[in-house]
């Protein structure tokens, strides 16, 4: 390797900037200048003199030539040694080198489908509960609708059991959007969960989600708290989780494009592009 | 060229105490300066911690009269100012000072003497601030420290409301030390841009170097406006100007804008280095390359950029127009995207890795968990109506301690455990380290978790006491008990450092089987770092050397 400009010709050591107290003195002076404002002007004068002395010393350090100090080589010289034994790699058939996890994913569409299916199951569970406990299928959807319809905020159980067009529309809309987005998340996350995917979707996530809703409902919509049966809530989440897991995990798996070249990814077909993973 | 006499190790060992002092005072070596920065920062950390302990002691029970209201005001002002300017800043500059030149295969920063100048300005500025305890009324009266809060809102800082010199000390102390930070920021940028070793293109720099580059740029952009605002305030106080004096036609809102135009980038200046440390530590302890390097770089750059445009979220409760509030709500939420991306990349690095939970990794994992919570409460606060409810309450105190303590301080401890062996040649004890981690983790959550609750229950921040009938007692008691647990944790740390310096296990050059260039030299490194300037071919030069059969550069 080429000797760099710092080392001297005989290569017994390396030149580094010589120690100097100039920056210390100068910094102390500058501080005193400012301290004078709150103490006594004489302090500022002293500070100015010190800062000037420091600065002049500093200039002499660097002009006309940098002051240097030769540091002799130390005796101990570490060498980075090659390691014996290879390294285990995650490989796929088409990966020339390290593979990145996950190597296969579900198509995004599968997640959305799973979300919709899960949403339907959830609606059935909630509707059944509505009929059993309040004699009305509309009860659960009205609860959801009332979170954003100011006119319904104070409604009691009897009112919530009736048909409300607006609340039906908004309730279904919220439910559909939430279900498909959560389904999409499931679809993306599931391939990354190493084990127990069913338990993850049917137990862990529903419990966490319920906990979050339960804890934040007081802030979002305190009135709603009394209207919700938390056991049924958990039950419908579990229903969602199982259904979504079922739909997602039955979908085909596709490899990620991690080892494809940019040209392959954007679909350029040319004899110059070597087919790594692009040949379906 | 002058060869000075006190070079070379054998001679140095014989140096007298005064001689050694002189060596430290006159040094321009980035490693010595780095050590001084971090040591000073840790000492200030103990002082700031003591101040916090006194406040929590006062707040443990209702209607307590341990501290007077004005003492309490001084304590929270000095605590906040100390932790941000005299703990966070020096430690991040110190670690960068030490590690960055080594990681890019250089022998020093671009301007070694300016580097020393920056450190001394920081130190003297900090001492000037603390001198206010003795000198704040001018040398002749009884002293007292600043009491206007770390963001020193106008018109509280005007002469009418703040007599004596305490506020002037706040201004001058920070002004002097911010000159130092700006100088060091310039130094880091120049070093990173011009002194990388052969082969290290920008996209082959370790993630830490990228992050610190952006950090230094933020320092350069954010610090001067603060200095300018402080000089304006000084004019108000000493020369009768009226910039922030409402009665005199000035604007108090102007100060809020100027301060937070500095203040929000400042909190990102503080958290970016934490990102830098865990980005170095997690891959090494998971035995995997960092997940999504280019995205990591892109996220860093965009965080730096967006953080310059969100400051008004500190002003939501001011009554600005809905339009302004909405715009800044949007930009604030935007910043969660690159930040979340980083979280995913760290987790992505861990997934499938062969994880070793040594203390640096423990602290990094703790960082991930706690910073996640802090980030989420941040997003909650960015929602304007929610912010109106909890602004200036303990909820905000909970939020920023999760990001600054759970985020920055945990990452700093991770970094200390990771690089201490390089700096001193000795390992820190793993047993004591684990004790420290768990005590700190439990104590931290015990202290700052309940603050979210007391905040939602309406407890305002910065009150010196409260009545018993508010339902805040339990939460405050828990917070105060947590402090005791944290003190135990910090005691383990201090003990660990002292013990390990005296009789720690020898570290060797490369105790963690690392991949970046600092592990290619001895521990502690010679003054010139590398006898020959290394040449690199990939992001992980040491991997390439250790695995010639399977080097990274073939695939990058
Ligand atoms: C996801 C990212 C974040 C968001 C959305 C966010 C949002 C907010 C908002 C809206 C406030 C104002 C609350 C109020 O005063 O009413 C705030 C305060 C604060 N944040 Fe964050 N924040 C984020 C991350 C951070 C980080 C990374 C740090 C520092 C490391 C930080 C430090 C602070 C501090 C110190 C305050 C309080 C300042 C004070 O009033 O004294 N935040 N945050
Ligand atoms: Cu902010």
Q: What's the average model confidence in pLDDT over B160-170? A: 89
Q: What is the band of A278 on the pLDDT scale with cuts at 50, 70, 90? A: very low
For the segment B492-548, what is each residue's pLDDT rounded down to a tens digit? 999 999 999 999 999 988 999 999 999 999 989 999 999 888 999 888 899 888 888
Residue after which a domain boundary falls, among A72, A91, A124: A72
Partners of residue B386 in chain A, C-beta under 8 Å: 219
B119-138 burial, b if ≥16 CB within 10 A, otherwise e?
Answer: bbbbbbbbbbbbbbeebbbe
A68 in helix, strand or coil?
strand
Interface confidence, given as ipTM, is 0.91
Q: Of the given ranges (A121-125, A191-195, B382-386, B532-536), which has the lowest mean pLDDT?
A: A191-195
DSSP code string of B296-349 = HHHHHHHHHHHGGG-GGGGGGGG---HHHHHHHHHHHHHHHHHHHHHHHHHHHH
pLDDT of residue B8: 42
Contact B26 A20 (CB under 8 A): yes
**Considering chain A, what is the average pLDDT of its residues?**
82
pLDDT of residue B142: 57
Partners of residue B124 in chain A, C-beta under 8 Å: 27-28, 30-31
Instruction: Kindly state whether residues A50 and A110 are assigned to the same domain.
Output: no
Instruction: Say yes or no: A222 contacts chain B, CB-CB below 8 A.
Output: no
**Positions of E strands within A63-126:** 68-72, 104-105
Instruction: Kindly state whether residues A160 and A210 are assigned to the same domain.
Output: yes
Distance CA B163, CA B168 (A): 10
Distance of CA B474 from the midpoint of ligand 2 (Å): 29
For the segment A190-216, what is each residue's pLDDT rounded down to a tens digit? 888 878 888 988 899 899 988 888 877
Residue A270 covered by a domain: no
Instruction: Kindly state whether residues A51 and A110 are assigned to the same domain.
Output: no
Looking at chain B, the whole-number percentage of residues with pLDDT higher than 70 is 96
pLDDT of residue A191: 84
pLDDT of residue A279: 44
Residue A255 covered by a domain: no
Instruction: Kindly state whether residues A113 and A197 are assigned to the same domain.
Output: yes
Residue A95 covered by a domain: no
Distance CA B99, CA B248 (A): 50
- Asked whether residue B334 carries a pLDDT value surpassing 50, the answer given is yes
For the segment B403-441, what is each residue's pLDDT rounded down to a tens digit? 999 999 999 999 999 999 999 999 999 999 999 999 999
Instruction: Kindly state whether residues A38 and A116 are assigned to the same domain.
Output: no
Superfamily of domain B33-546: Cytochrome c oxidase-like, subunit I domain (1.20.210.10)
Contact B238 A219 (CB under 8 A): no
A196: left (phi over 0), alpha (psi -120 to 50) or beta: left
**Residue among B80, B304, B371, B403 whose CB has most ligand 1 atoms within 8 A, to mutate:** B403
DSSP code string of A128-181 = HHHHHHHS-THHHHHHHHHTT-GGGTT--HHHHTS--HHHHHHHHHHHHHHHHH
Tokens describing residue B193: 């841009």
Q: Is B370 in the pocket of ligand 1 (CB under 6 A)?
A: no
Dihedral sign from CA coordinates of A273, A274, A276, A280: positive
Residue A83 covered by a domain: no
- Asked whether residue A7 carries a pLDDT value surpassing 50, the answer given is no
Tokens describing residue B544: 């390439």
Q: What's the average model confidence in pLDDT over A257-278? A: 67
pLDDT of residue B5: 42
Instruction: Say yes or no: B29 contacts chain A, CB-CB below 8 A.
Output: yes
Instruction: Kindly state whether residues A41 and A161 are assigned to the same domain.
Output: no
List the beta bridge partners of residue B506: B426
pLDDT of residue A96: 57
Instruction: Kindly state whether residues A238 and A129 are assigned to the same domain.
Output: yes
- Asked whether residue B90 carries a pLDDT value surpassing 90, the answer given is yes
Nearest Cα of chain B lies from the Cα of A139 at a distance, in angstroms, of: 29
Distance of CA B400 from the midpoint of ligand 2 (Å): 9
Q: What is the band of B451 on the pLDDT scale with cuts at 50, 70, 90? A: very high
DSSP class of residue B459 equals P
Q: What's the average model confidence in pLDDT over B36-60? A: 96
Element of type H or E holding B191: helix B166-194
Which residue's CA is the nearest one to ligand 1's atom 6? B378
Domain containing A37 equals 9-72
What are the residues whose beta carbons fall under 8 Å from the beta carbon of B388, sequence distance 6 or more? B316, B317
pLDDT of residue A162: 84
Biggest distance spanned by C-alpha atoms of chain A: 97
Residue A254 covered by a domain: no
pLDDT of residue B311: 96
Q: Which of residues 31-90 of B touch A (CB under 8 A)?
A: none
Q: What is the band of A28 on the pLDDT scale with cuts at 50, 70, 90? A: very high
Residue A147 covered by a domain: yes
CA distances from B187 to A115, B267, B281, B525, B526 (A): 53, 21, 25, 21, 22
Which residue's CA is the nearest one to ligand 1's atom 33? B400
Instruction: Kindly state whether residues A33 and A151 are assigned to the same domain.
Output: no
Nearest to A37 among B2, B125, B168 (CB): B168
Instruction: From the CA of B375, give the closest atom in ligand 1.
Output: 1
Nearest to A26 among B117, B386, B527 (CB): B117
Partners of residue A16 in chain B, C-beta under 8 Å: 29, 107-108, 112, 527-528
pLDDT of residue B12: 47
B467-477 burial, b if ≥16 CB within 10 A, otherwise e?
Answer: eeeeebbebbb
Q: What's the average model confidence in pLDDT over B40-49? A: 97
Residue A18 covered by a domain: yes
CATH of the domain at A33: 1.10.287
Residue A91 covered by a domain: no
- Asked whether residue A31 carries a pLDDT value surpassing 70, the answer given is yes
Most A-contacting residue of B2, B3, B128 (CB-CB within 10 A), to test interface: B3
pLDDT of residue A8: 46
Partners of residue B546 in chain A, C-beta under 8 Å: 80-83
Instruction: Kindly state whether residues A190 and A134 are assigned to the same domain.
Output: yes
pTM for the whole thing?
0.85
Contact A100 B291 (CB under 8 A): yes
Nearest to A87 among B112, B113, B550 (CB): B550
């Amino acid at each position: 390797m080429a000797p760099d400009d710092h080392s001297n010709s005989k290569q017994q050591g390396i030149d580094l900037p010589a120690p100097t107290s100039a920056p210390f003195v100068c910094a102390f002076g500058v501080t005193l200048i400012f301290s004078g404002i709150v103490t006594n002007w004489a302090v500022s004068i002293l500070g100015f003199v010190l800062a000037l002395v420091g600065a002049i010393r500093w200039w002499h350090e660097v002009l006309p030539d940098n002051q240097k100090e030769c540091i002799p080589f130390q005796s101990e010289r570490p060498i980075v040694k090659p390691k014996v034994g290879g390294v285990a790699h995650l490989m796929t058939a088409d990966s020339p080198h390290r593979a990145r996890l996950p190597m296969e994913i579900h198509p995004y569409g599968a997640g959305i489908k799973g979300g919709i299916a899960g949403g339907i199951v959830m609606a059935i569970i909630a509707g059944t509960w509505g009929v059993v406990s309040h004699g009305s299928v509309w009860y659960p959807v009205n609860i959801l609708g009332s979170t954003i319809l100011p006119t319904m905020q104070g409604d009691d159980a009897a009112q919530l059991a009736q048909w409300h067009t607006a609340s039906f529309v908004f309730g279904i809309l919220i439910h559909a959007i939430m279900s498909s987005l959560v389904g999409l998340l499931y679809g993306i996350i599931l391939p990354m969960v190493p084990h127990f995917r069913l338990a993850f979707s049917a137990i862990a996530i529903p419990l966490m989600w319920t906990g979050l809703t339960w804890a934040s409902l007081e802030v979002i919509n305190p009135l709603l708290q009394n209207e919700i049966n938390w056991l049924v809530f958990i039950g419908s989440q579990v229903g969602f989780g199982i259904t979504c897991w079922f739909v997602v995990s039955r979908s085909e798996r596709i490899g990620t494009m991690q080892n494809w070249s940019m040209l392959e990814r954007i679909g350029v077909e040319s004899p110059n592009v070597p087919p790594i993973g692009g040949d379906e | 060229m002058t060869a000075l006499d006190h070079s070379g190790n054998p001679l140095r060992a014989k140096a007298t105490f005064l001689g050694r002092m002189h060596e430290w005072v006159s040094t321009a070596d980035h490693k010595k300066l780095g050590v001084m920065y971090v040591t000073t920062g840790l000492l200030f950390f103990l002082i700031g911690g003591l101040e916090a302990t006194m406040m929590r002691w006062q707040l443990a029970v209702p209607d307590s009269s341990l501290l007077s209201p004005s003492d309490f005001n001084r304590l929270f002002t000095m605590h906040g100012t100390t932790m941000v300017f005299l703990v966070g800043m020096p430690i991040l500059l110190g670690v960068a000072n030490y590690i960055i030149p080594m990681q890019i295969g250089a022998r020093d920063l671009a301007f070694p003497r300016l580097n020393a100048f920056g450190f001394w300005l920081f130190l003297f500025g900090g001492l000037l601030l603390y001198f206010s305890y003795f000198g704040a009324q001018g040398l002749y009266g009884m002293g007292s420290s600043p009491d206007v809060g770390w963001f020193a809102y106008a018109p509280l800082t005007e002469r009418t409301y703040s007599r004596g010199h305490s506020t002037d000390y706040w201004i001058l102390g920070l002004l002097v030390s911010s000159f130092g930070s700006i100088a060091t920021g310039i130094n880091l940028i120049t070093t990173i841009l011009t002194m990388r070793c052969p082969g290290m293109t920008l996209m082959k720099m370790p993630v830490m170097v990228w992050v610190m580059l952006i950090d230094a740029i933020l320092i350069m952009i954010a610090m001067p406006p603060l200095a300018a605002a402080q000089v304006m305030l000084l004019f108000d106080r000493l020369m009768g100007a009226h910039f922030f004096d409402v009665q005199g036609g000035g604007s108090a809102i102007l100060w809020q804008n100027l301060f937070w135009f500095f203040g929000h980038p400042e909190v990102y200046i503080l958290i970016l280095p934490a990102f830098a440390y865990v980005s170095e530590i997690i891959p090494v302890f998971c035995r995997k390359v960092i997940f999504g390097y280019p995205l990591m770089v892109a996220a860093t750059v965009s965080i730096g950029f967006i953080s310059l445009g969100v400051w008004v979220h500190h002003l939501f409760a001011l009554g600005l127009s809905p339009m302004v509030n909405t715009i800044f709500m949007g930009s604030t939420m935007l910043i969660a995207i690159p930040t979340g991306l980083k979280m995913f990349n760290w987790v992505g690095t861990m997934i499938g890795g062969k994880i070793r939970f040594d203390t640096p990794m423990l602290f990094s994992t703790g960082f991930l968990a706690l910073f996640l919570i802090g980030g989420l409460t941040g997003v909650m606060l960015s929602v304007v109506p929610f912010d109106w409810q909890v602004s200036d309450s303990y909820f905000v105190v909970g939020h920023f301690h999760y990001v600054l303590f759970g985020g920055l301080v945990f990452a700093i401890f991770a970094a200390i455990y990771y690089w201490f062996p390089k700096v001193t040649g000795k390992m820190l004890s793993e047993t004591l380290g684990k004790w420290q981690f768990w005590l700190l983790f439990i104590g931290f959550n015990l202290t700052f978790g309940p603050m979210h609750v007391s905040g939602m229950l309406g407890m305002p921040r910065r009150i010196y006491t409260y009545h018993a009938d508010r339902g805040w007692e339990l939460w405050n008691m828990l917070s105060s008990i947590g402090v005791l647990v944290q003190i135990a944790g910090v005691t383990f740390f201090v003990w660990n450092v002292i013990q390990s310096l005296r009789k720690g296990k020898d570290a060797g050059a490369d105790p963690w089987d690392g991949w970046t260039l600092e592990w290619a030299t001895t521990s502690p490194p010679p003054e010139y770092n590398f006898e020959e300037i290394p040449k690199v071919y990939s992001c992980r030069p040491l991997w390439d050397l250790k695995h010639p059969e399977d080097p990274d550069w073939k695939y990058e």
